[in-house]
Structure 1
Amino acid sequence: MTQTRNLSHYLGGAWTASTGDEWIVDHNPSDVRDIVANTPRGTPDDAHAAVHAAEQAQAGWRSLSGPARAEHLHRWAAVMAEQQEALAQAMTREVGKPIGESRGEAARCVAILRYYAGEAVRNIGDVIPAQTATALQFSLREPLGVVLLITPWNFPAAIPMWKAAPAIAFGNTVVLKPAESASHVATLLAETAHAAGLPAGVFNVVLGSGAVLGPALLHAPAVRGVSFTGSSAVGAQI
């Protein structure tokens, strides 16, 4: 067994204690004596703080050029590549994946970041042929703003990155609410983002129960998009 971590939210580029005082105990499924982490049972105030951090960062992030955002994603991918083995070991310990599958998932995270770094430099609109010679028709894609990501335990790194990388590449800021039993891996993703110098508030992680955090996050006026992976019942509620 290895060390038990007391986790914190990652909000606005800083590790932030919960405003509540309750904890969720996160066990290693292959050895329930091994406590992987104590996860804060986040409060509605924590949810509001996460959305506020993302909202504060959004204007500055969307104002960057595609190549500038791409450079941030390339740096994040480089740090993720350095931490691949540690991330894989943490996945296996927290959610019980075979280590080979965890290593594949960690490598996939690096590939996702690199792919969307490339996508960030592509055209953000189209010129459309017009029937009138003097007319110019065009489309322009703009970021939504703050995007909420709600993710499950079974792919605790790849699914968050599948959602976060494209959102961030195209000028959105994100709030990630991971499954309670995948909280440690989510904080490791935040650690790599922080180490890569991703601007504060672009990627935020709030931890706790979906029943408590979900309504506060979903009803926040600043949240302009939601990406959810989970049960049909919860999806219907969202």
Structure 2
Amino acid sequence: MKIKGIKDVFFDLDHTLWDFDKNSALTFHKIFKMHNVTVDIDEFLSHYEPINLEYWKLYREDKIDKASLRYNRLNDTFNRISFQADSTLIHKLSTDYIAYLTSFNHLFQDTLGTLNYLKPKYRLHIITNGFQEVQESKLKNSNIYHFFKSVTDSEQVGVKKPNPIIFNHALQKVKANPESSIMIGDNMEADVLGALNFGMEAIYFNYLKTAAQSHIKQINKLEELKLFL
């Protein structure tokens, strides 16, 4: 079951190593209190999380820009729960959300143990579609930045996963070859199929245990990477 010949291991960050949903929920608790937004946080999040994923898909496909993503995911959620929020409040919340998001830095269970296990054996890297100004802070504030030889984000490259250009850029930067590289991430389209189509190995971090095609290598917990690497 071990994958032979791998030298470089590329990770996604959000929803893979960094527990985005947990940290995001804590951030909303904080900024709603700051701005006296009186909503049921659990109801808000139950709508926000799928809306956010839909907007990220549009952003990944270059159908919307960053500002639209940040504003509309909040506006749509407030509309869904019938909470009256004017554009001034939404802009303030959008700005403060980014400002405070990296003050919470919960990692997925087994992140540190898995990175400590892999680091002596492979070169480790990050490829992320996240915003450049916050991704480095997430890595540093959660004390995992030192594990990685390189960090490639979509804003510096100008395209997003699954575009092969971002994979090529990340590998060229560290002189890695596709056939000796593997991508690990939670998004089937962006991380797994993007990497496979580029000629890399890939493992689907299926922590939500959704249905996936049987030929796709997958794990439900990060520690299960030890089965492959």
TM-score normalised to structure 2 length: 0.30
Higher share of residues assigned strand: 1
